[in-house]
Structures are given as C-alpha cells and as structure tokens.
Structure 1
Amino acid sequence: MSIARRSLLLAAPSAALIPGLAFAQAADARLGERSSGKPDAPVTVIEYFSLTCSHCASFHNQTWPQVKAKLVETGKIRMVWRDFPLDQIALAAAMVARSLPAERYEGFVSALFASQDRWAFTRGGDPVAEIAKIAALAGMSRAQVDAALADQALQRGILEMRVKGQQEHNVSSTPTFVFNGRSQAGALTYERFAELAGVSGT
C-alpha cells in the first residue's frame, strides 16, 4: 500500500532529530531484530511492512506460509521484519507486537494480519481493544498493552526504523522487500519471491 494512497498521519522524525536513538535501539531489546531462519542462511531478505496494509496482509496470509516452509525452515533464507507503519493504528499495533517476547512476535503479527479486517478498518470501533484481545492470546494483559502504547521511547524507535527504511532502501510503499540490497515493492507470489531471492523454490 503506497503512502500516497493512504493518509499518513504520523510525523516521522529524522534521525538527526533523535540524538542517541541508535544507542537506545541497541540497548532496548524491543527494538532489536525480529527474524525467522538460521543466522547463517546464505540469503537474507528484509521486509518493510505496515500492519494496516492490505497488501502486506495478502503476502503474509497467502505467500509467507510457503516461504517459511520451503525456504526458511530448510535453511535457504533468513527473513527479517522491519516496521514501516503508515498510520496511527499501524504504529499502535507495531508497538504492542514489539513489546511481546521476540519468540512470540511472528505468531502475533500473523494473527493480526489474519484478522486485519476486524481491527484495522472498522468504522466507529475500537481498534486498540481488538488488538488487545489478540495480544491476550499471546499472554499480554490489557495493562501491558496500555503501557506499551504510552511508551514514547518505543514509539520513537519504531518511527526511526521507518526513517531508516526510507534513507537506506528508498522505501515508499508497503510491503517492500530487500533482496541482496535491491528493493522490490508489492505483495509477491511465492514463485516470484523465490526467484528474487535467487534460491530454488522447491
């Protein structure tokens, strides 16, 4: 989903406006790498995504299970996820996701994408309440959800991740995948993903 097609409500700060944030990210485990696959896999693929992006949901619901089974679990690639929230709801969901233990991150994100139509686009509803219900299944209380959403350092760290995506990989839409330094935007089929990763898809 391109930024031009969805109202961008976030005021993303530049790296220069957040002194010491790189150190803060290194010290804050919540802002550390979220990934799946062997650290020594021959190929690393980075995905920039927004949790309210329908194209990101399409990839995660339809293509990611095949990528995980055929490429990640077989040791061919390592997948790294980086937040690129396009609106306030996506930012809130990302803050909750990163407040969970790292080993629960992928499952929670997958649950959010699988139920995206129930919490991301409901008019007059309470998206935070719906996110909290899903977080409860991952062992997170409503009080912990509220604490995560009130954490300004966590918010700044996620926004900085988005800024770095723009600066380092020219990310302007989601999902955007980075294969060996080359960016490819849009939800990909399994076959196209394997082709861009340069690995056998079988």
Structure 2
Amino acid sequence: MTASTTSASAAARRTRRRTIAATTVLAAATVTGAFALTLDGSGSRDETTGRSAVVTESIAPAPADESLLVLARRDPADALAVGRADAPVVMIEYSDFQCPFCGRFARETKPDLIRDYVDKGVLRIEWRNFPVFGEESEQAALAGWAAGQQKKFWEFHDVVYGKPRERNAGEFSAENLIAMAREAGVADIERFQADMASGKARSAVQRDQEEGYNLGVTSTPAFLINGRPILGAQPTATFEEAVETAAKAAGR
C-alpha cells in the first residue's frame, strides 16, 4: 500500500468518525426535549433526589426519532446486552443499580419483555450504566461491568435487583459486591476485583454516562425503544405497545 493510499484511508476514517459524531450530537439535541416532555407528564420523581422516576399511569410516550437509531451499538460481543444483535427493535436502558424504580422495572416488566420479545428474536436490550446516586452507585456499575467480563452481567443484574435495597447504606460495599458476584456465579473473584478497579471499567461506565447526559437523561430508569423515549417504571403494557409499534414499523 502506498503512502498516498494510506493517507487517503486515514482521511476517510476521520471523515466517517466526524459524521457519526455529528449525527449523534444532532440526535441528542432532538431527544433532550423528548425526554423532558416525557418527564413532565410521566408521574412523580423521588422528591429527595429528583433522579429516579416512577409512573403510576400509562401515558403516551414521545414519538420515535429514527435519527437516534445510531445509538444502538448492536455489538454481538457486548456482555451488557441481551438478544440478537440484528433484532428489529433495540431498547437502550439507562439505569442505576441503586434506583428503586429500576429495580421495579427489572422485577416486574423485564421478565415479560424477555419472554415475549427477546426470546423470540424481536427485541434486543442494551444496558447503559447511569449511576446517579453517588459512590455506591458507581461501584455497583463497575461491578456489573466486571461481572460482564466473565459473561455474568445479567446474573449479577438479577441478584442486585432481586429485592429492594436501601440506598447509600453500605449494601453496595466492596464486600457485599463480591458476595453478589459469587451469588451470580462469577467464578474468578480475583479477576472480578481487578476488572472492577481497571481503567477499562471506568472508561466503559463513563462512556455510558456521557451518552445519557448528552441525551438529556437526568433520572432513572430511562429508555429508548428504536428512538422512542420512555422515562420511568411505566406499566408493562406501555413497553409492550412501544416494542410492537417499533417492530411493525421495522416490517416485523
């Protein structure tokens, strides 16, 4: 390969990166208002923090924005995702392991979505770490990522959310996170601890956080279903309707 060809290839890659970045910025600007609109009509937030959202009545979520489809990573090797990489519908979930309403969604809604849509190849769920409740949330996010390095993220997820936990009261101490990892079936605890403390873990969590903040996410849980923003632990029927509408639009 000649020097000129190498230079041209490098320039092309830089152009593609700039195009993707510009698309993401424009998408973020669009959905910021959509998340704000959803929050305004979706119910009450935790009054002590303003950073977790619950919905007691089903409401019509904001319409989908196809420009946001670029945010779906669709990486077959993503340990923090479940479902086929080529599924017609992708739900991106921004969550905090200390968020009580994220826990409610995990216990009451996600099992139905996995059974009815993920297992049938219609839906892919991509988790984004979005710790908003302080140090214990951040440590839990790092622990989840570390569990994923041993293909145990979703088992860890289910252990953490298996019951309500008191926030910022030591339940996510290093000792307890190790116990949760063991319960989730993480085999190599030394590796788990090393992965949790690694720069790669912090970079991965930071990447997810920045993506969420750029979209205007300020509370958890928050979701994008093929570009359709939904905020809060809304009724299962709200998610089912959004998935089916997206699947139909995708020709499924």
TM class by smaller structure: 0.7 to 0.9
2:141 equivalent in structure 1:
94
Q: Of 134, 143, 156, which aligns to 1:108? A: 156
Local SS of the residue matching 1:198: helix
- The higher radius of gyration belongs to 2
5+ residue gaps in structure 1? Answer: 9-28
Cα pair 1:33 1:81 within 8 Å, conserved: no
Deviations 1:47-102 (A, max 9, x none): 01000000000000111111110111111211111110112111111111111236
5+ residue gaps in structure 2? Answer: 1-43, 52-76, 248-252
2:224 equivalent in structure 1:
178
Seq. identity, %: 23
Deviates more, 1:60-69 or 1:138-147: 138-147
2:115 pairs with 1:46? no
Q: How does 1:3-152 map to 2 (within 5 A)?
A: 5-6=48-49, 32=78, 34-86=80-132, 87-100=134-147, 101=149, 103-117=151-165, 120-121=166-167, 123=169, 127-137=173-183, 138-152=185-199
Cα pair 1:3 1:172 within 8 Å, conserved: no
TM-score, scaled to structure 1: 0.75
The CA distance in 2 between the partners of 1:98 and 1:3, in whole Å, is 26
Change (3 A) 1:69 1:156: same
Q: 1:44 is aligned with what amino acid?
A: V
Over the aligned positions, Cα root-mean-square deviation in angstroms equals 2.7
2:8 equivalent in structure 1:
none
Number of aligned residues: 175
TM-score, scaled to structure 2: 0.61
Deviations 1:99-121 (A, max 9, x none): 1236311111111111441xx53
The CA distance in 2 between the partners of 1:67 and 1:141, in whole Å, is 31
